[in-house]
Amino acid sequence: EVLKTLSGAGLTISMSRRGNCWDNACAESFFSLMKREWLHHLGLISRREMEDAVAYYIGEYYDNVRSHETLGGLAPRAYELAA
């Protein structure tokens, strides 16, 4: 019933297929990190403020400021510029 309703509205759900619990692991890991590092401390805010906070985290903080261990301690943008 849920799938019919979503499909009828032209929406696609983000769910793993049976027996494949890892296909969404990267996205789940990212959103968990974002909530833990950035959004948790904001408390209750409006939807617009949340949209702005998420956009800032992804577009500014995560790409330009946050160091990544797998990139030798550099932020993704700095890593790309150094390559």
Per mean pLDDT, which range of 8-17, 38-47, 60-69, 73-82 is the poorest?
8-17
**Residue 43 predicted with pLDDT over 70:** yes
pLDDT score at 74? 94
pLDDT score at 17? 67
Domain range for 37 is: 2-82
pLDDT score at 78? 94
**Residue 18 predicted with pLDDT over 80:** no
Total domains, the chain: 1
Check residues 62 and 12 and name the one with the higher pLDDT.
62
46 contacts: CB under 8 Å, gap ≥ 6: none
C-alpha 37/C-alpha 30 separation (Å) is 10
